[in-house]
Amino acid sequence: MQPTLLILAAGMASRYGSLKQIQQFGPSGETIVDYSIYDAIRAGFGKIVFIIRKDFEKEFKEIFEPKLKGRVATDYVYQEMDAFLDGYPMPADRTKPWGTAHAVLCAKNAINEPFAVINADDFYGRDSFEKAAAFLKNDAKPDVYSVVGYQLSKTISEHGSVSRGVCAADSESNLAAINERTKVYKDGEQIVYEDADGSKHELAPETPVSMNFWGFHPSVFELSQGLFKDFLEKSGDKPKSEFFIPIVVDHFIQNKLGVVNVIPTGAQWFGVTYKEDAPGVQESLSALVRSGEYPDNLWK
């Protein structure tokens, strides 16, 4: 069975103002997510599932359906605020979505096969999709998940600090822990992260970090649903609390429900953390087109 790619896109409208303003970086107007879909198709993914919001469904389909029709199966699921609350009362002051793990949970009825999860606005590179597809086809099980581990030095913005999930792997290259570092940046020749008190800690350039590229068996849905119920009971009344994928993964590891393979990649990540990043993203894609990695028009 071919694996599925689940794309977290429910926040796209809020980030860009409107879907029609999704920033175009490729030589023929491609967005970053176009390159992810293209890489996924050639790596052997058989279906693309978009997580979006119902309020921009029409606009979204108008953008992506003409490109993908006849190339790959597509489906759409909706991250709505009341999904999977199972009787929990919606907090009156809640305006923020419930988080990435809730977004994945919303795809429960659309996916029955091993699947990968990515962000819509990160460029991951061909190598990552090929390795993720191989894992999902051959190794994904109810007790074996994965995360693509990027080299930290290949995920840094030149224009400010970034947040990164720093991965600690055991001797068998399985994830032992993932620590969110919210202020990571280059400090001279070093890469450091800052604690809340301002103290700096050096990180090795080759440190593996998560860019939210996960590989799951569909058993993760049942696990996530139970943990979301626990999350609501403990934190549902906090307006800014979020149910993140690493919460599910950490529970999976710490309770010895299985292992999470850290899949190393030398791919160069890029994305637009700051508006100043945009020209660099455009030039990076142009260089990949010039080298023959991508055609100058992905969907021609």
User: For 100-126, what is the mean pLDDT?
Assistant: 96
Predicted confidence at residue 11, as pLDDT, reads: 77
Amino acid residing at 131:
K
Predicted confidence at residue 196, as pLDDT, reads: 86
Least confident of 136-150, 160-174, 216-230: 160-174
Annotated domain spans of the chain: 4-291
User: For 276-283, what is the mean pLDDT?
Assistant: 90
Stated as kind and residue range, the H or E segment containing 50 is: strand 47-52
Note the pLDDT tens digit of each residue in 223-272: 999 999 999 999 999 988 999 999 999 999 999 999 999 999 999 999 88
Structure tokens at 247: 């919460």
DSSP β-bridge partners for residue 109: none
Residue 13 pLDDT exceeds 70:
no
Asked if the 4-291 domain carries CATH number 1.10.10.10, the reply is no
Predicted confidence at residue 115, as pLDDT, reads: 98
Q: Is the entire prediction scored with pTM above 0.85?
A: yes
Residue 19 pLDDT exceeds 80:
no
Give the C-alpha separation, 56 to 169, whole Å: 39
User: For 189-197, what is the mean pLDDT?
Assistant: 93
Structure tokens at 141: 């099980």
